[in-house]
Structure 1
Amino acid sequence: MRKFKFLLTLVVLVMSIAALGAVPAAAQEKCTKETPCQIDIWIIFSDHRYDWAVDAGNRFMEKHPEFKINFVQQKSYDESIKNYVLAKEQNQVPTIVQTYEIGTQFSLDSGYFKFADDIIAGRKDVLGEPVNFEDILPVIRNYYTVDGKWASVPWNTSTAITYSNMDILNKVGITEPPKTWGETMADCALLQPLVDSKEIDGCATWEIDDWYFEQWMAQQNELFANNDNGRSGRATEIRVDSEGALNIMKFYQDMYAKKYFVYTGLGKNGSGQVFSSGKAAITINSSAGARGIMAAAAEQKMNIVTSPLIYNEAKGYTGNILGGATMWVSDGLDKEVEDGAMAFLLFFSNTENAASWHTASGYVAIRQSSLDLLTNLKPGNDILWNITDKKREDIPGTNWFESNPAFATATNQLNASKDTPATRGALLGTFVETRPIINAATEDLMLNGGDPAAYMAKVKVQLDQMLQEYNDLHS
């Protein structure tokens, strides 16, 4: 409850600030090459992905020298939101902030930001940078549009996928990665002799993460929240006691009881080490980790393959939700700075940059034109991000995905998803506080057993109460 009380404090602060009205950034008569207007952008990356962003910023400034792009690193998405609230109080907000998908409802309620569609105002381009949102993949468009309008501009989009060590699976005659929960259990049974001989620690390992819970809910076409996942009306209930939710808890219990699952502790992030050291055959992770995971596997000469996230065959497959973040533009900016910010975001997410960002990270190439580019490469494409040298270079060959099949899995999975309220993902103001509670419940039920139905009914009461308190502040 301590964390939720902090959120309530933030919300009260937000409402107090909003009551004062938006205060524009310091006005500047004209943005010129001699006196460029600065565009401050908060992002959470500090590794090679930050280097890629800085390079993109430099490329933009070559085209638009009247603006200065300044990236500021934030420790985490949660920290970024907290820092933004404080910056708002001091009238020192960044021009653009990267906010994760579960912060969407909070971003809408705060009144901090101006809708991307309102900034664009029907224009075909902004400062010469084409808009072309129609090119963005449907599953991304469905998540980040609100009442048919773009609230923010997509950048880093991911989904959860399965990674399998085929060297281990091949030892017991398994030639394909598992597709379902049932196949995973069957594969684990075959691998148990390797566990008994201590050749591996266990069959499967991944972090207990509510994001996977949300993915499995969508796969079963189960709503995470009522009112069409908060999209036909404000969410007032979180459906952690539904049939689909209970199926997930039982799956964890079965995997752990049969000693198929290597658990490294809540929030410990130890499963990655278990998998990367060859001590487990199957893991689940974000597609955003594909470049790092596959690069490490290549160095260790491990045969790692990616495949769609395993699903509950008893319910069938409907689709997956996305993860990642979008870029929100602060409200109350000088018009010239506002246009510069939007022009940058349109450049940042254009066909070539979306394709290059995909190679640098493993995040989904958010545009259909980017996918077309990556499958029809020509010499001089200058798309591949060289992590060591911090620069772009040509992708050899004509098809990126033929030589890097692990990178195609996430896109194929999202494109295969049916469009339903469940797969559009939930909008609710207490998402940040909800996830740790579900994680703790999953851990407790898995380790200590018990009736998932009775347990999750109590969890639902707690989550719904939190949500009601949040909603009361925005009624």
Structure 2
Amino acid sequence: MVKGNWKLVLPAAAMLVLPLSACASNPDNGGKNANQATNVSTSNAANTTANSANTTNSTSTNTAATTEPAKEPVKVVWWHSMSGELGTAADKLVADFNASHPDIQVEGVFQGTYDESLNKLKASMDSKSGPSLIQVYEIGSRFMIDSGAVTPVQQFIDADNYDVSSLEPNIRSYYTFDGKQYSMPFNTSNPILYYNKDLFTKAGIDKAPTTYQEVADDAKKLTGGNVTGGSFAIYGWFMEQLLANQGKDLVNNGNGRDSSATESLVNQDAAVNTLNWWKGMVDNKSILNLGRKTDDTKKAFLAGQIGMTLDSTASLRGIVDGAAGKFEVGTAFLPKPDASSEGGVVVGGASLWIMNNKSDEEQKAAWEFIKYLAEPAVQAQWHINTGYFPITTKAYDEQIVKDNLAKYPQFQTAVDQLHASKPSTASQGAVMGVFPEARQTVEGAIEEVFTGKKDTKAALDDAAKQITEKIDVYNKTVKK
């Protein structure tokens, strides 16, 4: 394993993330050393034997001297960004692993949002105070590779002859670069359309929309009284997904996968047409503009104030449970400009990266934890407790997953959409070192269009120019 080859020029990389804010630590301290009592007993017995040997001039002294203390478990520090119910589910994974692996002690430490966690990792890069293993959101992948701070999981996969055939190919492919898998998927989602079936029936709509025009038509029919047709959060992820769903790359050079991206394509015709469609519904008031937070659109949807919205599949359980007793939730694929559009959705969420400034023993222990998390039974539990996709197809054979799909049939939409996504550089997902900033730049452009500050083409042209400039600065910081 390669260790300590951390080559990224760190100061310029700071533009990848948002400023830090205060966050709490939530370490899991499960898995105490069960051998301590045994060690004490063995030590006392050895002392008794040694004393006896001194008195009788016996050779048993040599036998006593061979007794060695039990080996301490290898400690793995895992930084993650799972809070609330997700954090509780993550803590249980750690506790269960520690209970079944006495030779390894994993300590899960909550480090705030993905941005905050990555900031903390950068701050630790000149020392060994950082984690053994870190959860990083998908758009941080390019930075992690360029940092030179990780050991690709492909090394462990090859060394173990680990079978990856059951891993979801559309999920695994996101984290594969130049034929090498760098990290292991952990929590994975994609966006779907949520709609209020009761409001649809009341408006005389008998099926979910699949195209841009159908969404616009249905939004008008749903709007009236205290109800508006829908609301989509101003979230850069949605624009990225709507382009991928048309088979369109977000950046050049094969979406940054053939070689490092050098140019943003966010001002291409497909993006202009998509934003014009969205703005048209905002302008005719069939779609509400509730800002950037998906929490706000979710609240409006659960209150019955809007007929449809876009949100992550990870929100499905909470949305269905929140609507229980009020209305029936329907789910549908992300809409396309027309039925003939080819493309697919890109996986969201995060993956697990092994840091290379730790000992071989510690890295191997982290790999053991990663393998445990990928087991079908473990993925099944993670899925039903969080709503994230299982990363292995074998999890769907677990009875608890079958029972969960029976209780939440809406989740089948998410599974079908993932499997229906046509493999391409578009659906594989874009990679660039300044992805977080690029996403915020696009969100700012959308706001400028909705408020009339700029027309669609001018706003996206400006956004593309800004992102391209940021990519150029970033690329110059990376030592090839």
Q: CA deviation at 1:88?
A: 2.0
From the superposition, tell whether residues 441 and 315 of structure 1 become closer, same or farther in structure 2 (CA, over 3 Å): farther
2:41 is the counterpart of 1:10: no
Q: CA deviation at 1:51?
A: 1.6
Q: CA deviation at 1:253?
A: 1.3
Aligned position for 1:70: 107
2:411 is the counterpart of 1:407: yes
From the superposition, tell whether residues 278 and 55 of structure 1 become closer, same or farther in structure 2 (CA, over 3 Å): same
2:130 is the counterpart of 1:93: yes
Aligned position for 2:32: none
> Partner of 2:192: helix, strand, or coil?
strand
> Partner of 1:270: helix, strand, or coil?
helix
- Structure 1 distance, partners of 2:79, 2:454, is 44
Aligned AA for 2:159? Answer: G
Instruction: Confirm or deny: 8 A CA contact 2:210 2:339 kept in the other structure.
Output: no
- Structure 2 distance, partners of 1:78, 1:183, is 36
1:341-360 residue pairs with structure 2 within 5 A? 341-360=366-385
2:258 is the counterpart of 1:263: no
Aligned position for 1:386: none
Q: CA deviation at 1:273?
A: 1.4
- CA-to-aligned-CA distance 1:211-236 (integer Å, 9 cap, x gap): 01010111111110001101111100
Aligned AA for 2:337? Answer: N
- CA-to-aligned-CA distance 1:106-161 (integer Å, 9 cap, x gap): 0000111110012344313xxxxxx3222111111211111111101111010000
Q: CA deviation at 1:450?
A: 4.7
* Unpaired segments ≥5 residues, structure 1: 13-31, 125-130, 378-382, 384-394
From the superposition, tell whether residues 451 and 46 of structure 1 become closer, same or farther in structure 2 (CA, over 3 Å): closer
Aligned AA for 2:175? Answer: Y
The count of aligned residue pairs is 419
Q: What's the TM-score, normalizing by structure 1?
A: 0.84
Aligned position for 2:143: 106
Aligned position for 1:291: 317
> Partner of 1:89: helix, strand, or coil?
coil
Aligned position for 2:299: 273
Aligned position for 2:429: 425
- Structure 2 distance, partners of 1:51, 1:368, is 24
- Structure 2 distance, partners of 1:455, 1:101, is 26
1:166-205 residue pairs with structure 2 within 5 A? 166-192=197-223, 194=224, 197=225, 199-200=226-227, 202-205=228-231
2:137 is the counterpart of 1:133: no
Q: Which runs of 4+ in 1 moved over 4 A?
A: none
Q: CA deviation at 1:268?
A: 7.8
> Partner of 2:86: helix, strand, or coil?
helix
2:349 is the counterpart of 1:324: yes
Q: CA deviation at 1:403?
A: 3.1
Q: CA deviation at 1:453?
A: 2.1
2:83 is the counterpart of 1:46: yes
Aligned position for 2:264: 238
Instruction: Confirm or deny: 8 A CA contact 1:256 1:447 kept in the other structure.
Output: no
Instruction: Confirm or deny: 8 A CA contact 1:33 1:66 kept in the other structure.
Output: no
- Structure 2 distance, partners of 1:49, 1:248, is 33
Q: CA deviation at 1:411?
A: 1.6
Aligned position for 1:28: none
Instruction: Confirm or deny: 8 A CA contact 2:82 2:90 kept in the other structure.
Output: no
Instruction: Confirm or deny: 8 A CA contact 1:252 1:446 kept in the other structure.
Output: no
1:225 to 251, 258, 264: 251
Cα RMSD for the two superposed structures = 2.1
* Unpaired segments ≥5 residues, structure 2: 1-8, 17-68
Q: CA deviation at 1:275?
A: 1.0
2:101 is the counterpart of 1:61: no
- Structure 2 distance, partners of 1:203, 1:34, is 63
Instruction: Confirm or deny: 8 A CA contact 1:220 1:315 kept in the other structure.
Output: no
Aligned AA for 2:330? Answer: V
Aligned position for 2:335: 310
Q: CA deviation at 1:265?
A: 2.4
Aligned AA for 1:301? Answer: K
From the superposition, tell whether residues 175 and 182 of structure 1 become closer, same or farther in structure 2 (CA, over 3 Å): same
Q: CA deviation at 1:267?
A: 4.4
- Structure 1 distance, partners of 2:454, 2:107, is 52
Instruction: Confirm or deny: 8 A CA contact 1:230 1:427 kept in the other structure.
Output: yes
1:459 to 447, 463, 468: 463
Single out whichever of 112-121 and 163-172 deviates more from structure 2: 112-121
> Partner of 2:427: helix, strand, or coil?
coil
Single out whichever of 60-69 and 77-86 deviates more from structure 2: 60-69
> Partner of 1:133: helix, strand, or coil?
coil
Aligned position for 2:120: 83
From the superposition, tell whether residues 271 and 7 of structure 1 become closer, same or farther in structure 2 (CA, over 3 Å): farther
- CA-to-aligned-CA distance 1:168-223 (integer Å, 9 cap, x gap): 1111111222222111111112123x2xx2x22x1111211110101011111111
Instruction: Confirm or deny: 8 A CA contact 1:219 1:318 kept in the other structure.
Output: yes
Aligned position for 1:335: 360
- Structure 1 distance, partners of 2:340, 2:457, is 18
Instruction: Confirm or deny: 8 A CA contact 1:352 1:370 kept in the other structure.
Output: yes
- Structure 2 distance, partners of 1:468, 1:169, is 47
Q: CA deviation at 1:372?
A: 2.9
> Partner of 2:310: helix, strand, or coil?
strand
2:191 to 139, 142, 160: 160
Higher Rg:
2
Aligned position for 1:36: 73
> Partner of 1:422: helix, strand, or coil?
helix
1:144 to 165, 172, 175: 175
